Chains A and B, each alone.
Chain A
């Protein structure tokens, strides 16, 4: 049962989610190889080689992989696939982009966003925004899987895997990268933060999100938003928590001025502790919150910040 896990990284840092994806892979089998595909990504390779339970790290370091374009990465993974029964990636935007392409090239189904592993061919995944949980068996010889990392524990990093450089260059020549416009933030990544404080439509405008910043900084947390707040143009979409945004499961999730629509709950209901601040006592968010406070957020937030 050989497993290939494709590392999630930005050419400098191995994303913490990869450790959870390896955690998921360990439930499928034991012979795990990590593939690092990127450009000038030696620091990622060094981190990957220390991931526990990993035998080998394959490295494909070439300028054509700098932006991990799906057209090029999928050709590479497909070429390597013959040696593995499971091809596994993290269900973040990079993996979601190239993995179905890999599955189609291999002529197998993909099982997306798994949150549990029953055995080497049977997986658990949410459907209908998490309002139903499906147990799905793969009938293909090869399994192409993306992992929702909130469902798995990270493996530790005191391993010492063998590093193997590959010279394979798979340039489809049909797409190119133009630019990135990344949000620069001192705060932790939404997906990896231990504390997340999110604002909804109740925040009324983008400026009022500043009220969340002081609290986020005191708790070392990240700031998120509901789809309603994104749709209203208060904040950018990469802050969106929900079915169609980011799925988070921090130790503490604070929902401020968020009613608790199904699609938002899908993105945060696995958080360990949920706090809701809302002036509407009937808001559905209170049905999932461990601690709720019925209050006007414009009074509650400054007071909370001062008392932390």
Chain B
């Protein structure tokens, strides 16, 4: 790795961001007068950023409070997704028959949008919070399912032969060979699932009106405070980026071979 300071690495991203801010300003001045300029967005949002923990009612809180509420919701949905998705993926990878039986179902369920699942969740659970978790979990689980199944299928015969020669019990084989061999694939799945869960949170909160970044965004749209939409959008993007970085650090730790 190059240790020397690389000025282009700093300069080019700054230039990219400036260019986007310029286009944004141009758009709000010339094309879409309702779109606040970057400067106006900052003025109208600074209270939320500078006092990130204030609370003035359910739907009027500092940006970090909203972020926290959304993150908790995503964490629950994500944990539910991997708790169901990992064993499901394992079964699909281990058993050809199981795979034949359920692969078509999965292929059909996978492309369904969160916007379609949410009303169904509301019908099933009658309450917005479980419906939101249901939606996050069912949308976020597929990358985990598919990557885990692929990981199990690509366990090297060499490793399995070691297990056969040693006559390991099924539990031992699972714990000592199959799970460790699949772990890198599982974590790739987890990273993608977390990204998906974060995508879904906004839709889930918008439709259920729960306090959080998505709920705030939708409320401010209805109250015509457009700068706060931009504040929410940018926060969502930054947090999503942070989560992905975090997960790829974890993922890299599990690359064994």
Partners in one complex: no
Q: Give the interface of B toward A (CB within 8 A).
A: none
Q: Give the interface of A toward B (CB within 8 A).
A: none
